[in-house]
Amino acid sequence: MGTGVIVGYDGSEHASIAVDWAAVEAVSRGVMLTLAAATTVPLEGMRFGGSVLTPDAIDDLLQRLQAATQARADEARAAHPGLDVGVKVGLGSPASVLVEASANADMVVVGSRGMGGFRGLLVGSVGVQVASNAACPAVVVRKAPSPTASTVVVGVDGSELSLAALDFAFDIADRRGWRVLAVHAWEIPAYDVLAAPSGPPPIDVEELAASEERAFAESLAGLRERHPGVVVEQEVVKGQSVRAILDACDDPALIVMGTRGRGEFLGAVLGSVSQGVLHRAKVPVAVIGSGEEGDEG
């Protein structure tokens, strides 16, 4: 068990939505919610607004940040009586502060785009950095799911991280009374033109599909036993993974992914499928990593 749920807060609308989502999750887990806010001070002589940013000015900046974050924390506490809510404010980049806090947290939550984020971006740099490097499950919240949403969509490809994502999906579904929709997409393996100039060897597509089905069923078996109350559906799709996951459910409550999938380059902290889902999903996305802070392959 970690120190609870950490949520980044910077006063933006996306951050406020993230606080609401994180508060509900903290209640369901029975853990503390901490709102973390951070700011950097300008370099180049520490000038701010055309004048030198003095230590007193820095203290004033932090006090105002503390007051704004505390006010939002009080709102979360009022909305969820009995929830233990704390505030952590400091100097530093928001992403680095959240990644550092994730080392001792059960979950870290961040809005998809914060103050000053480019409107053309669905997920800002802080969200991507936290999802890529957090030492615990990271949830990026673009907007709140609909009140009737009750399905966790989880991408499964047999990799170690996708199995961890499955475990996370079953756990949150069990606590929230949701169902799990496990999606596995597969494609016919590509071949090396130089190694096989005459074309690929024959592939038994039916046998390949059956093999994928068997491996998928094995991935789900143990979790079904550990969470007998969770309704589980599985979907095996021949096609591109990102599209299969996004199209699996019209009204998901959450999408869950591993940071990297089977066959993806180990040096890439956030794999291509996870990036694709993270940037296109309209609902909260949970990204499950290796649990090693700062893991960059």
Given a cut of 70, whether residue 197 has pLDDT beyond it is no
Which domains, from first to last, does the chain contain? 5-141 (3.40.50.620), 151-288 (3.40.50.12370)
Q: What is the pTM of this model?
A: 0.82
Residue 83, token pair as written in the block: 């929830």
Q: 40-45 contacts: CB < 8 A, separation 24 or more? A: 40/91, 40/92, 40/93, 41/91
Q: Which pLDDT band holds residue 109 (cuts at 50, 70, 90)? A: very high
- Return the pLDDT at 118: 39
Strand, coil or helix: 294: coil
Cα-trace Rg, the chain: 21
Strand, coil or helix: 47: strand
**Mean pLDDT on 142-162:** 91
- Return the pLDDT at 51: 55
* Residue-averaged pLDDT of the chain: 81
Given a cut of 90, whether residue 265 has pLDDT beyond it is no
How far apart are the C-alpha atoms of 116 and 230, rounded to whole Å?
41
Whole-number percent of the chain with pLDDT over 90? 51
Residue 152's nearest CA partner among 136, 138, 168 is: 168
How far apart are the C-alpha atoms of 217 and 213, rounded to whole Å?
6
Given a cut of 90, whether residue 35 has pLDDT beyond it is yes
* 107-111 and 5-8 strand pairing: parallel
How far apart are the C-alpha atoms of 110 and 123, rounded to whole Å?
10
Which stretch of 21-30, 110-119, 233-242, 283-292 has the lowest confidence by average pLDDT? Answer: 110-119
pLDDT tens for 54-72 read: 778 788 888 999 999 999 9
- Return the pLDDT at 221: 74
